[in-house]
Structure 1
Amino acid sequence: MNPLIETKDLEFNKILTYPDMKIFPNQTSFITGKSGSGKSTLFKLFNKTLNPSRGKVFYNNNDIAELNTLELRKEILLVGQSVFLFDKNIRDNFSEYYTYLDKKTPNDDLIKKYLGICCADFSLDKDCISMSGGERHRVYLAICISLLPKVLLIDEPTAALDTLNSIKLIENLLNFSKENFLTMLIISHDQALTETFSQQTIKIGE
Protein backbone atom coordinates (compact mmCIF):
# COMPACT_ATOMS: atom_id res chain seq x y z
CA MET A 1 0.00 0.00 0.00
CA ASN A 2 1.30 3.44 -0.92
CA PRO A 3 1.31 6.19 1.72
CA LEU A 4 -1.34 8.88 1.45
CA ILE A 5 1.00 11.50 2.95
CA GLU A 6 4.77 11.27 2.93
CA THR A 7 7.49 13.71 3.95
CA LYS A 8 11.15 13.85 3.00
CA ASP A 9 13.83 16.01 4.63
CA LEU A 10 11.17 18.41 5.91
CA GLU A 11 12.31 21.61 7.60
CA PHE A 12 10.67 24.92 8.50
CA ASN A 13 12.56 28.19 8.96
CA LYS A 14 15.80 26.28 9.57
CA ILE A 15 14.66 25.78 13.17
CA LEU A 16 12.14 22.96 13.03
CA THR A 17 13.26 19.70 11.47
CA TYR A 18 11.06 16.65 11.07
CA PRO A 19 11.70 12.94 10.72
CA ASP A 20 10.68 11.40 7.41
CA MET A 21 7.21 9.99 7.84
CA LYS A 22 4.59 7.97 6.00
CA ILE A 23 0.87 8.21 6.70
CA PHE A 24 -1.21 5.42 5.20
CA PRO A 25 -4.86 5.63 4.08
CA ASN A 26 -7.59 5.02 6.66
CA GLN A 27 -5.07 5.07 9.49
CA THR A 28 -5.17 7.08 12.72
CA SER A 29 -1.81 8.53 13.72
CA PHE A 30 -1.00 10.48 16.87
CA ILE A 31 1.63 13.22 16.75
CA THR A 32 3.48 13.72 20.03
CA GLY A 33 6.34 15.89 21.23
CA LYS A 34 7.25 18.65 23.64
CA SER A 35 5.74 22.13 23.38
CA GLY A 36 7.54 24.13 20.71
CA SER A 37 8.69 21.05 18.80
CA GLY A 38 6.64 22.03 15.74
CA LYS A 39 3.59 19.76 15.88
CA SER A 40 1.07 22.46 14.94
CA THR A 41 3.45 23.79 12.30
CA LEU A 42 3.62 20.31 10.77
CA PHE A 43 -0.15 20.29 10.25
CA LYS A 44 0.06 23.70 8.56
CA LEU A 45 2.74 22.31 6.24
CA PHE A 46 0.45 19.40 5.37
CA ASN A 47 -2.34 21.66 4.08
CA LYS A 48 -0.16 24.47 2.66
CA THR A 49 -1.01 27.08 5.28
CA LEU A 50 2.79 27.25 5.53
CA ASN A 51 5.50 26.26 3.07
CA PRO A 52 8.64 24.35 4.08
CA SER A 53 12.03 26.02 3.88
CA ARG A 54 13.46 22.65 2.88
CA GLY A 55 12.18 19.23 1.92
CA LYS A 56 8.86 18.08 0.50
CA VAL A 57 5.39 16.89 1.46
CA PHE A 58 3.73 14.41 -0.88
CA TYR A 59 -0.01 13.71 -1.07
CA ASN A 60 -1.10 10.75 -3.17
CA ASN A 61 2.47 10.66 -4.54
CA ASN A 62 2.19 14.29 -5.69
CA ASP A 63 4.39 17.10 -4.38
CA ILE A 64 1.84 19.38 -2.68
CA ALA A 65 3.83 22.42 -3.80
CA GLU A 66 2.50 21.66 -7.28
CA LEU A 67 -1.13 21.11 -6.21
CA ASN A 68 -3.92 23.69 -6.16
CA THR A 69 -4.11 24.96 -2.58
CA LEU A 70 -7.89 25.34 -2.39
CA GLU A 71 -8.51 21.91 -3.87
CA LEU A 72 -5.97 20.37 -1.48
CA ARG A 73 -7.69 21.95 1.52
CA LYS A 74 -11.00 20.39 0.52
CA GLU A 75 -9.35 17.00 0.97
CA ILE A 76 -7.06 17.81 3.91
CA LEU A 77 -9.00 19.70 6.59
CA LEU A 78 -7.22 21.29 9.54
CA VAL A 79 -8.89 21.74 12.92
CA GLY A 80 -6.30 23.91 14.64
CA GLN A 81 -6.21 25.11 18.23
CA SER A 82 -7.84 28.37 17.13
CA VAL A 83 -10.90 27.90 14.90
CA PHE A 84 -13.19 30.29 13.05
CA LEU A 85 -16.93 30.31 13.62
CA PHE A 86 -19.36 32.99 12.51
CA ASP A 87 -21.14 35.08 15.17
CA LYS A 88 -24.29 33.06 14.57
CA ASN A 89 -25.93 29.94 15.95
CA ILE A 90 -24.70 26.41 15.27
CA ARG A 91 -27.21 25.70 12.51
CA ASP A 92 -26.25 28.89 10.67
CA ASN A 93 -22.55 28.09 11.00
CA PHE A 94 -23.09 24.77 9.25
CA SER A 95 -25.08 26.61 6.58
CA GLU A 96 -22.36 29.25 6.07
CA TYR A 97 -19.64 26.66 5.49
CA TYR A 98 -21.78 24.52 3.21
CA THR A 99 -22.91 27.54 1.19
CA TYR A 100 -19.30 28.62 0.74
CA LEU A 101 -18.44 25.16 -0.57
CA ASP A 102 -21.56 25.11 -2.76
CA LYS A 103 -22.97 22.09 -0.94
CA LYS A 104 -26.41 21.33 0.46
CA THR A 105 -26.56 21.94 4.21
CA PRO A 106 -27.37 18.81 6.27
CA ASN A 107 -30.76 18.67 7.95
CA ASP A 108 -31.10 19.21 11.69
CA ASP A 109 -30.98 15.50 12.53
CA LEU A 110 -27.71 15.05 10.67
CA ILE A 111 -26.20 18.14 12.26
CA LYS A 112 -27.14 16.77 15.69
CA LYS A 113 -25.52 13.45 14.76
CA TYR A 114 -22.22 15.15 13.87
CA LEU A 115 -22.34 17.27 17.02
CA GLY A 116 -22.95 14.15 19.10
CA ILE A 117 -19.92 12.43 17.61
CA CYS A 118 -17.84 15.42 18.71
CA CYS A 119 -19.27 15.57 22.25
CA ALA A 120 -21.00 18.85 21.40
CA ASP A 121 -24.62 18.07 22.26
CA PHE A 122 -25.91 21.63 22.08
CA SER A 123 -29.12 23.16 20.80
CA LEU A 124 -28.74 24.13 17.14
CA ASP A 125 -29.98 27.58 18.14
CA LYS A 126 -27.08 28.07 20.55
CA ASP A 127 -25.08 31.18 19.69
CA CYS A 128 -21.46 30.27 19.00
CA ILE A 129 -20.11 33.58 20.27
CA SER A 130 -21.19 32.62 23.81
CA MET A 131 -19.30 29.31 23.78
CA SER A 132 -16.03 28.48 25.49
CA GLY A 133 -12.96 27.81 23.38
CA GLY A 134 -13.30 24.05 23.83
CA GLU A 135 -16.97 24.11 22.83
CA ARG A 136 -16.23 26.15 19.72
CA HIS A 137 -13.43 23.75 18.82
CA ARG A 138 -15.78 20.76 18.99
CA VAL A 139 -18.51 22.49 16.96
CA TYR A 140 -15.97 23.33 14.27
CA LEU A 141 -14.73 19.73 14.39
CA ALA A 142 -18.33 18.58 13.83
CA ILE A 143 -18.57 20.79 10.75
CA CYS A 144 -15.31 19.39 9.43
CA ILE A 145 -16.18 15.71 9.87
CA SER A 146 -19.55 16.34 8.21
CA LEU A 147 -17.72 17.45 5.07
CA LEU A 148 -16.12 13.98 4.80
CA PRO A 149 -12.57 15.00 3.87
CA LYS A 150 -9.95 12.45 2.89
CA VAL A 151 -7.65 13.59 5.71
CA LEU A 152 -8.49 15.29 9.00
CA LEU A 153 -5.77 17.04 11.01
CA ILE A 154 -6.91 17.67 14.60
CA ASP A 155 -4.84 19.71 17.05
CA GLU A 156 -5.48 18.79 20.71
CA PRO A 157 -9.18 17.79 20.40
CA THR A 158 -9.43 16.69 24.05
CA ALA A 159 -7.66 19.65 25.68
CA ALA A 160 -10.83 21.00 27.34
CA LEU A 161 -12.40 17.63 28.22
CA ASP A 162 -12.25 15.39 31.27
CA THR A 163 -10.90 11.85 30.97
CA LEU A 164 -14.22 10.11 30.29
CA ASN A 165 -15.30 12.57 27.60
CA SER A 166 -11.82 12.52 26.07
CA ILE A 167 -12.07 8.76 25.65
CA LYS A 168 -15.60 9.07 24.28
CA LEU A 169 -14.57 11.69 21.72
CA ILE A 170 -11.60 9.71 20.42
CA GLU A 171 -13.65 6.50 20.27
CA ASN A 172 -16.38 8.33 18.33
CA LEU A 173 -13.86 9.81 15.89
CA LEU A 174 -12.19 6.44 15.34
CA ASN A 175 -15.52 4.76 14.61
CA PHE A 176 -16.51 7.58 12.26
CA SER A 177 -13.19 7.43 10.44
CA LYS A 178 -13.49 3.67 9.92
CA GLU A 179 -17.04 3.96 8.60
CA ASN A 180 -16.09 6.75 6.19
CA PHE A 181 -12.55 5.68 5.19
CA LEU A 182 -11.05 8.78 6.75
CA THR A 183 -7.36 9.24 7.55
CA MET A 184 -6.83 11.08 10.85
CA LEU A 185 -3.82 12.70 12.42
CA ILE A 186 -4.21 13.87 16.01
CA ILE A 187 -1.86 16.03 18.05
CA SER A 188 -2.09 15.04 21.69
CA HIS A 189 -0.19 15.52 24.94
CA ASP A 190 -2.28 12.78 26.57
CA GLN A 191 0.01 9.76 26.75
CA ALA A 192 -2.76 7.41 27.91
CA LEU A 193 -4.98 8.30 24.95
CA THR A 194 -2.08 7.93 22.55
CA GLU A 195 -1.11 4.51 23.88
CA THR A 196 -4.73 3.32 23.82
CA PHE A 197 -5.90 4.53 20.42
CA SER A 198 -2.96 5.26 18.13
CA GLN A 199 -2.32 2.98 15.17
CA GLN A 200 0.91 4.89 14.57
CA THR A 201 2.70 7.32 16.87
CA ILE A 202 5.03 9.91 15.36
CA LYS A 203 7.33 11.65 17.81
CA ILE A 204 8.45 15.15 16.85
CA GLY A 205 11.53 16.91 18.17
CA GLU A 206 13.31 13.85 19.56
Structure 2
Amino acid sequence: MFEIQNLKYKDILDINILELESGKVFCLFGESGSGKSTLLKIFNGMLTPDEGVVRYKKEKITQLDPVELRKEVVMLGQDPVVFEGTVRDNLLAGLRFSGENEVTDQEMSSLLKELHLEKELDEDATKLSGGEQQRLAFGRVLLMNANVYLMDEPTSALDEGTETVVMDYFTKNIKKQNKTVIMVTHSKEISEKYSDRIIYMDEILTKVGVHHE
Protein backbone atom coordinates (compact mmCIF):
# COMPACT_ATOMS: atom_id res chain seq x y z
CA MET A 1 0.00 0.00 0.00
CA PHE A 2 2.71 2.48 1.09
CA GLU A 3 6.43 2.24 0.37
CA ILE A 4 9.13 4.56 1.68
CA GLN A 5 12.67 4.78 0.38
CA ASN A 6 15.33 7.12 1.79
CA LEU A 7 12.82 9.58 3.18
CA LYS A 8 14.12 12.74 4.82
CA TYR A 9 12.03 15.59 6.16
CA LYS A 10 13.78 18.47 7.95
CA ASP A 11 15.44 17.16 11.10
CA ILE A 12 12.33 15.15 12.01
CA LEU A 13 12.29 12.09 9.74
CA ASP A 14 15.08 9.99 8.29
CA ILE A 15 13.74 6.59 7.18
CA ASN A 16 15.71 4.28 4.92
CA ILE A 17 12.94 1.87 4.05
CA LEU A 18 9.44 1.03 5.25
CA GLU A 19 6.59 -0.92 3.66
CA LEU A 20 3.02 -0.99 4.87
CA GLU A 21 0.79 -3.61 3.30
CA SER A 22 -2.93 -3.14 2.73
CA GLY A 23 -5.75 -4.51 4.87
CA LYS A 24 -4.07 -4.11 8.26
CA VAL A 25 -4.18 -1.82 11.27
CA PHE A 26 -0.81 -0.21 11.93
CA CYS A 27 0.15 1.79 14.97
CA LEU A 28 2.93 4.39 14.96
CA PHE A 29 4.27 4.38 18.49
CA GLY A 30 6.84 6.69 19.99
CA GLU A 31 7.58 9.69 22.14
CA SER A 32 6.31 13.19 21.43
CA GLY A 33 8.40 14.78 18.69
CA SER A 34 9.38 11.45 17.13
CA GLY A 35 7.69 12.32 13.83
CA LYS A 36 4.52 10.24 14.03
CA SER A 37 2.10 12.99 12.99
CA THR A 38 4.56 14.26 10.38
CA LEU A 39 4.68 10.83 8.77
CA LEU A 40 0.87 10.67 8.64
CA LYS A 41 0.79 14.03 6.84
CA ILE A 42 3.31 12.78 4.30
CA PHE A 43 1.11 9.74 3.57
CA ASN A 44 -1.79 12.16 3.01
CA GLY A 45 0.21 14.47 0.74
CA MET A 46 -0.08 17.36 3.21
CA LEU A 47 3.71 17.49 3.57
CA THR A 48 6.34 16.82 0.90
CA PRO A 49 9.62 15.06 1.78
CA ASP A 50 12.88 16.96 1.32
CA GLU A 51 14.45 13.78 -0.06
CA GLY A 52 13.41 10.26 -0.96
CA VAL A 53 10.33 8.62 -2.40
CA VAL A 54 6.96 7.74 -0.90
CA ARG A 55 4.64 5.55 -2.99
CA TYR A 56 0.96 4.78 -2.62
CA LYS A 57 -0.18 1.78 -4.67
CA LYS A 58 3.19 1.87 -6.47
CA GLU A 59 2.67 5.50 -7.56
CA LYS A 60 4.78 8.38 -6.23
CA ILE A 61 2.59 10.47 -3.95
CA THR A 62 4.16 13.67 -5.30
CA GLN A 63 2.81 12.81 -8.75
CA LEU A 64 -0.75 12.12 -7.61
CA ASP A 65 -3.57 14.65 -7.56
CA PRO A 66 -3.74 15.63 -3.85
CA VAL A 67 -7.53 15.95 -3.88
CA GLU A 68 -7.98 12.50 -5.42
CA LEU A 69 -5.42 11.06 -2.98
CA ARG A 70 -7.31 12.47 0.02
CA LYS A 71 -10.53 10.87 -1.18
CA GLU A 72 -8.84 7.49 -0.82
CA VAL A 73 -6.51 8.31 2.07
CA VAL A 74 -8.61 10.08 4.70
CA MET A 75 -7.06 11.76 7.71
CA LEU A 76 -8.58 12.37 11.13
CA GLY A 77 -6.38 14.80 13.05
CA GLN A 78 -5.91 15.27 16.78
CA ASP A 79 -8.16 18.32 16.82
CA PRO A 80 -11.44 17.34 15.15
CA VAL A 81 -12.63 19.63 12.38
CA VAL A 82 -16.22 20.68 12.94
CA PHE A 83 -17.99 22.77 10.33
CA GLU A 84 -20.71 25.30 10.94
CA GLY A 85 -24.11 23.72 10.65
CA THR A 86 -25.89 20.69 12.01
CA VAL A 87 -24.69 17.27 13.05
CA ARG A 88 -26.16 16.02 9.77
CA ASP A 89 -24.18 18.58 7.75
CA ASN A 90 -20.98 17.48 9.41
CA LEU A 91 -21.58 13.79 8.85
CA LEU A 92 -22.31 14.37 5.17
CA ALA A 93 -19.38 16.73 4.58
CA GLY A 94 -16.91 13.93 3.80
CA LEU A 95 -19.27 12.22 1.36
CA ARG A 96 -19.88 15.52 -0.42
CA PHE A 97 -16.14 16.14 -0.67
CA SER A 98 -15.48 12.70 -2.13
CA GLY A 99 -18.47 12.84 -4.49
CA GLU A 100 -20.12 9.78 -2.96
CA ASN A 101 -23.85 9.23 -2.57
CA GLU A 102 -25.30 10.58 0.65
CA VAL A 103 -26.63 8.21 3.28
CA THR A 104 -30.06 8.32 4.91
CA ASP A 105 -30.94 9.95 8.22
CA GLN A 106 -31.60 6.49 9.61
CA GLU A 107 -28.09 5.32 8.72
CA MET A 108 -26.56 8.43 10.28
CA SER A 109 -28.61 8.07 13.45
CA SER A 110 -27.59 4.41 13.70
CA LEU A 111 -23.92 5.36 13.34
CA LEU A 112 -24.20 8.00 16.07
CA LYS A 113 -25.69 5.39 18.36
CA GLU A 114 -22.77 3.04 17.70
CA LEU A 115 -20.38 5.88 18.57
CA HIS A 116 -22.30 6.63 21.78
CA LEU A 117 -23.17 10.10 20.50
CA GLU A 118 -26.79 10.57 21.49
CA LYS A 119 -27.49 13.71 19.47
CA GLU A 120 -30.20 14.71 17.03
CA LEU A 121 -29.17 15.25 13.41
CA ASP A 122 -30.57 18.80 13.46
CA GLU A 123 -28.51 19.89 16.49
CA ASP A 124 -25.84 22.59 16.11
CA ALA A 125 -22.53 20.75 15.78
CA THR A 126 -20.47 23.71 17.03
CA LYS A 127 -22.13 23.44 20.44
CA LEU A 128 -20.95 19.89 21.06
CA SER A 129 -18.26 19.19 23.65
CA GLY A 130 -14.72 18.26 22.62
CA GLY A 131 -15.35 14.54 23.05
CA GLU A 132 -18.63 14.75 21.15
CA GLN A 133 -16.97 16.64 18.31
CA GLN A 134 -14.25 13.99 18.14
CA ARG A 135 -16.85 11.24 17.78
CA LEU A 136 -18.70 13.30 15.17
CA ALA A 137 -15.51 13.66 13.13
CA PHE A 138 -14.94 9.93 13.56
CA GLY A 139 -18.40 9.28 12.10
CA ARG A 140 -17.75 11.60 9.18
CA VAL A 141 -14.60 9.79 8.06
CA LEU A 142 -16.18 6.37 8.58
CA LEU A 143 -19.00 7.27 6.19
CA MET A 144 -16.47 8.15 3.50
CA ASN A 145 -15.64 4.45 3.08
CA ALA A 146 -12.03 5.28 2.23
CA ASN A 147 -9.26 2.82 1.36
CA VAL A 148 -6.95 4.13 4.07
CA TYR A 149 -7.66 5.85 7.37
CA LEU A 150 -4.92 7.97 8.93
CA MET A 151 -5.82 8.52 12.59
CA ASP A 152 -3.86 10.93 14.81
CA GLU A 153 -4.76 10.26 18.46
CA PRO A 154 -8.40 9.72 17.37
CA THR A 155 -9.74 9.10 20.89
CA SER A 156 -7.67 11.58 22.90
CA ALA A 157 -10.73 13.49 24.17
CA LEU A 158 -12.70 10.38 25.18
CA ASP A 159 -12.95 8.66 28.53
CA GLU A 160 -11.70 5.09 28.73
CA GLY A 161 -15.12 3.45 28.44
CA THR A 162 -16.19 5.50 25.41
CA GLU A 163 -12.77 5.04 23.82
CA THR A 164 -13.18 1.26 24.02
CA VAL A 165 -16.68 1.35 22.49
CA VAL A 166 -15.58 3.60 19.60
CA MET A 167 -12.36 1.70 18.84
CA ASP A 168 -14.08 -1.69 19.06
CA TYR A 169 -16.73 -0.55 16.56
CA PHE A 170 -14.20 1.12 14.26
CA THR A 171 -11.71 -1.75 14.08
CA LYS A 172 -14.44 -4.36 13.68
CA ASN A 173 -15.82 -2.54 10.63
CA ILE A 174 -12.37 -1.80 9.19
CA LYS A 175 -11.34 -5.45 9.34
CA LYS A 176 -14.67 -6.62 7.90
CA GLN A 177 -14.12 -4.36 4.87
CA ASN A 178 -10.39 -5.12 4.60
CA LYS A 179 -9.44 -1.45 4.91
CA THR A 180 -6.06 -0.09 6.01
CA VAL A 181 -5.51 2.02 9.13
CA ILE A 182 -2.38 3.89 10.18
CA MET A 183 -2.88 5.22 13.68
CA VAL A 184 -0.83 7.41 15.98
CA THR A 185 -1.18 6.89 19.71
CA HIS A 186 0.78 7.45 22.90
CA SER A 187 -1.11 4.59 24.50
CA LYS A 188 0.71 1.27 24.59
CA GLU A 189 -2.57 -0.38 25.59
CA ILE A 190 -4.40 0.95 22.51
CA SER A 191 -1.55 -0.02 20.20
CA GLU A 192 -1.32 -3.56 21.55
CA LYS A 193 -5.07 -4.14 21.62
CA TYR A 194 -6.04 -2.88 18.19
CA SER A 195 -3.06 -3.01 15.83
CA ASP A 196 -1.89 -5.87 13.65
CA ARG A 197 1.56 -4.33 13.58
CA ILE A 198 3.28 -1.78 15.80
CA ILE A 199 5.87 0.46 14.18
CA TYR A 200 8.30 1.88 16.72
CA MET A 201 9.53 5.27 15.55
CA ASP A 202 12.87 5.00 17.36
CA GLU A 203 13.63 1.91 15.29
CA ILE A 204 12.61 3.05 11.80
CA LEU A 205 14.33 6.41 12.26
CA THR A 206 17.75 4.77 12.51
CA LYS A 207 17.78 1.84 10.12
CA VAL A 208 15.22 -0.77 9.23
CA GLY A 209 13.37 -2.04 12.26
CA VAL A 210 9.73 -2.87 12.60
CA HIS A 211 8.28 -4.84 15.46
CA HIS A 212 5.60 -7.34 14.56
CA GLU A 213 2.89 -8.08 17.07
TM beyond 0.5 = yes
* Unaligned ranges ≥5, structure 1: none
1:108 to partner: Cα distance:
1.1
Retained in 2: the 8 A contact 1:76–1:149?
Answer: yes
Aligned length: 203
Structure 2 residue corresponding to 1:41, chosen from 38, 43, 56:
38
Q: Which residue of the other structure, out of 54, 64, 68, is the alignment partner of 1:67? A: 64
Counterpart position of 1:30: 27
Give the gaps of 5 or more residues in structure 2. Answer: 204-213
- Write the distance in 2 (CA, Å) between the matches of 1:173 and 1:40: 20
Provide the C-alpha distance between the structure 2 equivalents of 1:110 and 1:76, rounded to a whole number of angstroms: 23
Q: Percent identity?
A: 30
Which of 126, 144, 147 is matched with 1:129 structurally?
A: 126
The answer on 1:173 being equivalent to 2:170 is yes
| Alignment CA distance shift 1:35-1:91 (3 Å) | same
Shift of 1:52: 0.6
Structure 1 residues 167 and 13, CA gap change in structure 2 (3 angstroms): same
Cα distance, 1:179 vs structure 2: 1.9
Over aligned residue pairs, what C-alpha RMSD do you find?
1.8
Choose from 147, 150, 170 the match for 1:150.
Answer: 147
Q: Deviations over 1:83-136 (max 9, x none)?
A: 322211111223444334333321111112333444433221221111223322
Question: 1:185 is matched by which residue type in structure 2?
Answer: I
The 3-state SS of whatever aligns with 2:150 is strand
Structure 1 stretch displaced more, 129-138 or 67-76: 129-138
- Residue of structure 2 in register with 1:107 after alignment: 104
8 Å CA contact 2:134–2:155 kept in 1: the answer is no
Match of 1:89, as an amino acid?
A: T
Q: Report the TM-score when normalising by structure 1.
A: 0.90
Query: Aligned partners of 1:96 and 1:15: how far apart in 2?
Result: 33
Normalising by the residue count of structure 2, what TM-score does the alignment of the two structures yield? 0.87
